[in-house]
A = this chain, B = another copy of it.
Amino acid sequence: MKEYDVIVIGAGPGGYLAAERLAHGGKKVLLVEKAAVGGTCLNVGCIPTKTLLNSAKLYVHAREGAKFGVTADNVRFDWKAMQAWKDEVVTKLVGAVALTEKKLGVEILAGEARLLGPGKVQVGEKIYETEHIVIAAGSVPAMPPIPGSKNNPKVVDSTGLLSTPEIPSRLCVIGGGVIGVEFASLFSALGSKVEVVEMLDEIIPFMDKELAPALRRAMKDVKFNLSCKVEHIEDGTVCFRTKEGVEAKVEASAEAAAKADLVLMAVGRRPALDGWGARESGLDLTPKGVVVDDRMRTNLPKVWAVGDVTGRSLLAHAAYRMAEIASANILEGEAAAAKGQRMRWDYIPWALYSMPEGSGIGLTQEEAKKRGIDTIQASVPFRVSGRFVAENGFAAPGQAKLIADARTHRILGLHLIGAYASETIWGASAVLEEELSVEDLRQLVFPHPTISEVIREAAWAMKL
């Protein structure tokens, strides 16, 4: 008899949720984690970033309340107090995850796990036997070999920037993806002079190409350098080449008195394929990650992979869903797929917690075109919402774009920039999963007055 039904490698969102669901389903589960329970998301990713961003939003709101009849003197933030609150939130949430696992009977083991092959995992000196293995090894920040970036104390990754002791007076962000844009927004709100250098011709690659420029314009204190390739970094100065071949520089380096001028390397994350036996175990790998099918099976029998390590979607909630699919397939076998327990990659929403927020789900207009789908679309400003106007004013940035199939009118994508975008997008998961048409969406009742009503307005703005 094997010691465990399932060994889960990695206790980030994919790993801890798989362990929960499996234990809840009656399996004996060992959850192995080499660093902190909660993984990147909880410890150095989504949760700390959003906690700091919330404080920054409170700071901005407190300063800009006069229009709404609310004023205050000497509005200020205390970076150390913000950090302390962030640390308290992380500590308590990590504790809550560990407690949930314990209540369900999941054993948590601190250590580096090594996949030896199907049914065999080594931790330290000991070899554990198990029926199933779920790999949830996560991802690490990609650190491209830019000359001058290595061992440069002014160059940090997101983890380093989260714990910087002081607000940089100038911050250069290399990379205009979600991480880069959120940090740009955070530090810009806190008074840093921020420039973003992005190699591609637009920020946020999965954002619709009509909305991304609107987001840049809305982040009016941040300078964006697009189509710019970083060539080298000297101390705190980032040297890059524009599309036209012009050499240029962003100086994040110190003005006389600044102590903490920094360069954030935020060019993305890559699956963690080192140190746990990925290559030696016979797993099918590509540079993008562990190869899985839509039921999260790898090529090895009863070895499953979920989350960032698959490279399919580097989002915590995508990891959650993958974990649930792997768990359901482990618990129910063939019956699971018949119940819909397969990844539907196009129905994963995403959210951006910058000021303003952004979110999206499904296809962008460009992606639909690439797939040869004829689309219809409508784009409406958030100021069509009375609540948006009441809470933000008439000129505040906000835009909703809805995309549908021109022939069937089936909704293919929804993309938002503006207040509450991260919180309202989930409804579109239901809309897309249920394959609603524009006509169906028009019949849904939205509460008035809400900003969510812009989605309904977009459906009505569609020319059918």
Interface of A toward B, CB cutoff 8 Å: 13, 41-42, 46-47, 50-51, 54-55, 58-59, 61-62, 65-86, 89, 92-93, 315-318, 320-321, 324, 339-341, 347-351, 359, 386-387, 389-391, 394, 420, 422-431, 433-434, 436, 439-440, 442-453, 455
Residues of B with C-beta under 8 A to A66: 81
A317–B422 CB distance below 8 A: no
> Chain A interface mostly helix, strand, loop or mixed?
helix
* Whole-angstrom distance between the Cβ of A383 and the nearest chain B Cβ: 9
Contact assessment for A447 and B51 in the assembled complex, using a CB-CB cutoff below 8 Å: no
Cβ-defined partner of A61 (8 Å) among B41, B62, B315, B394:
B62
**Subset of 29 A-B contacts with CB under 8 Å:** A47-B449, A50-B386, A50-B449, A51-B391, A54-B391, A58-B68, A61-B61, A68-B85, A69-B79, A69-B82, A69-B85, A70-B76, A70-B77, A70-B78, A71-B75, A71-B76, A73-B73, A89-B389, A92-B394, A320-B448, A420-B423, A422-B450, A423-B424, A425-B447, A426-B452, A427-B427, A427-B428, A429-B446, A434-B436
Closest to A339 in B: B439
**Distance (whole angstroms) from the CB of A354 to the closest CB of chain B:** 14
Contacts A349-B446, A422-B450, A447-B317 hold; do A389 and B93 have CB atoms under 8 A apart?
yes
**Which residue, of A79, A321, A351, A426, has the highest number of chain B Cβ atoms within 10 A?**
A426
Contact of A73 among B72, B82, B348, B424 (CB under 8 A): B72
Docked pose: A351 CA to B446 CA in angstroms:
10
In the bound complex, residues from chain B placing their C-beta under 8 Å from that of A347 are 445
- CB pair A75–B70 under 8 Å, yes or no, is yes
- Docked Cα-Cα span, A318 to B444, in Å, equals 11
Q: Which residues of B contact A420 (CB under 8 A)?
A: 420, 423
Interface contact A430-B423, CB-CB below 8 Å? no
A424 contacts B422, CB within 8 Å? no
Q: Are A436 and B430 in contact (CB under 8 A)?
A: yes
A54 to nearest B CB, angstroms?
5
Contact indicator A13/B448 (Cβ below 8 Å): yes
Q: Name the B residues within 8 Å of A317 (CB-CB).
A: 445-448, 453
Contacts of A51 in B (CB 8 A): 390-391
Measured CA separation A76–B77 after assembly (Å): 18
CA distance A77 to B62 in the complex (A): 12
Cβ of A287 to closest chain B Cβ, rounded Å: 26
Q: Which residues of chain B are near A427, meaning CB under 8 Å?
A: 424, 426-430
4 closest A-B pairs by beta carbon, nearest first, are: A427-B427, A69-B82, A69-B81, A72-B72
Q: A386-B42, A390-B47, A445-B347 are in contact. Are A59 and B70 (CB under 8 A)?
A: yes
